[in-house]
Structure 1
């Protein structure tokens, strides 16, 4: 029964990570692609969009790391 619970916990973690990955990919596409396509029009807006895209990615990595650490130590190793 513990194996089934651990499998469900890992599957839940993977589901959460993939959903957030899709959300972050959408945000990056909405911020970075217009900056690439319209680079010659407004340089400040392009730079700000790139910064927003990079910050979104970095925040996602930190959230993913924290969630994984909590998930592994608090849920999977719980006796």
Structure 2
């Protein structure tokens, strides 16, 4: 699991606890959790360059999983996926 916690403004104090909870889940269920604020490690909404978004879409199209929790305090751009649905 990749936890991407980059913020551009307000930073919620619960972020460290959320990362710790994800790490505990990973340890309990046998999967690796990597926490980062480096957009180069992950591609998310308006934080992505075109090549990063293409790489992420390819990852998902080839069976990779993705879960997204957005911060409601910051605006996020929407991007169309190749499946013609959109994520905001």
Same fold, TM exceeding 0.5? no
Structure that is richer in strand per residue: 2
| TM-score, normalization by structure 1 | 0.28
Structure that is richer in helix per residue: 1
Tell me which of the two structures has the higher relative contact order, counting C-alpha pairs closer than 8 angstroms and 6 or more residues apart.
Answer: 1
